[in-house]
Amino acid sequence: MNDSVAVSDNKILSENDYSLFSQLVNMNHEQLVFCSRPEVGLKAIVAIHDTTLGPALGGVRMWKYSSENQAIRDALRLSRGMTYKAAISGLNFGGGKAVIIGDSRTDKTEAMFRAFGKFIEGLAGRYLTAEDVGMTEREMSWIYSETKYVTGIPKSLGGSGDPSPVTAYGVYMGMKAAAKKAYGSDSLSNKRIAIQGAGSVATYLARYLAKENAKLFITDIFEEKANHLARETGAEVVSPDEIYTLDLHIFSPCALGSVINDDTISHISCDIIAGGANNILDDEKKHSLELQNRGILFAPDYVINAGGIINISSEMQGYNEKLAMEKTSQIYDTLLNVFEYSENHNLTPVEASNILAEERIKSVGSIKTIYSSESNFSNRQGEIYRR
């Protein structure tokens, strides 16, 4: 039997070239969707990881990826992280993520995002999108004009608005929990803390830390953003490369992922890594173990940065900012539980948090066999989207 397959342009490819399904199987994804409207510049990818607990919820980010493969990898990793984030935070949502390939500083148009919204509408509620890196409330409003399956829309439209302040608050509370574990006190006063990135989450986080009299260092690939944040918070600006060589108490990645990798990990000198970025570790298993062996406490990113998803999920019941902040403050206790489980079972914090998240998914998933005339999501759908 011939192990090759014909494609529409008459080329013959070996089945070994078809690696996408292998990636989906390896990471337990349900669906990968490609969205193309070249006339408006839209090249987007939607990854749906797991819908056991509910519809997949996760932001859409816009980034100038170096390759389409890099964009796919980002979508797959981020969507998986959202599944675990929702599960360990006690939310009834699955994990999804979307990426739009393009320069968020120059390529945005209303037509692009309305086209993206139409694709999201076509998924019929399997994926709920929200704001992420490179996006603002303006773009979410454009998406909302074409689909009801969007959260994090402006407060003027009945949504919760920009989730960054709540995400930052969760990172701050998680950082204090990590300090409690490492030092016996959750005070961050006089702690040397480096924030990688000067975007929305980093800005709100820096403000919290400045109020607690932490000694701050800031870097960003856009130097003017770092300088602006430093002037506001009294931080010291360092170069993107220098951030890895500082002698710190806490290193807080708040930009893109994979910053702890084979090239950087040996240069890092700190007690704690706790940041708002997703997928901070390039190789989750390898680098989490290496950090533990070096005595560096790592706060699993999908636990500590869950404030955003907690905030936008609260829209489903009618947004209440106070309740969203109260639930986000529980990240402090969730992380302490992860650290305790890690220590008691001789695991890395990443392994511990994965197990705790998977146990909830398995537990709730086990009741899916109980007959119901209508699914939970079908019952909620009318309430969630009756605007």
Give catalytic residue positions: 97
Q: Quick one: CA torsion of 7, 12, 15, 20, rounded to 10 degrees?
A: -50
Amino acid at 35: C
Sort strands 236-237 and 250-253 into parallel, antiparallel or unpaired.
unpaired
289-300 burial, b at 16+ Cβ within 10 Å, e below that, comes to ebbbeeebbbbb
Residue 101 bridge partners (DSSP):
63
Going by C-alpha positions, the residue among 302, 200, 182, 320 that lies closest to residue 249 is 182
Phi and psi for 33 in degrees, rounded to 5? -120, 130
How many CA atoms does the CB half-sphere of 207 hold within 13 Å?
A: 12
* Residue 9, token pair as written in the block: 């342009």
CA separation for the pair 259, 349 (Å, rounded):
18
Question: DSSP readout, 255-304?
Answer: SSS--BSTTTGGG-B-SEE--S-SS-BSSHHHHHHHHHHTT-EE--HHHH
Going by C-alpha positions, the residue among 282, 300, 292 that lies closest to residue 355 is 300
* Residue 41 Cα to chain centre, angstroms: 25
Measured over the CA atoms of residue 137, residue 279, residue 166 and residue 310, the dihedral's sign is positive
Cβ-in-10-Å burial (0-12, 13-18, 19+) of 146 comes to: middle
CA separation for the pair 283, 270 (Å, rounded):
19
327-336 burial, b at 16+ Cβ within 10 Å, e below that, comes to bbeebbebbb
How many CA atoms does the CB half-sphere of 296 hold within 13 Å?
A: 24
Q: Which bin fits 171, alpha (ψ -120 to 50), beta or left (φ > 0)?
A: alpha
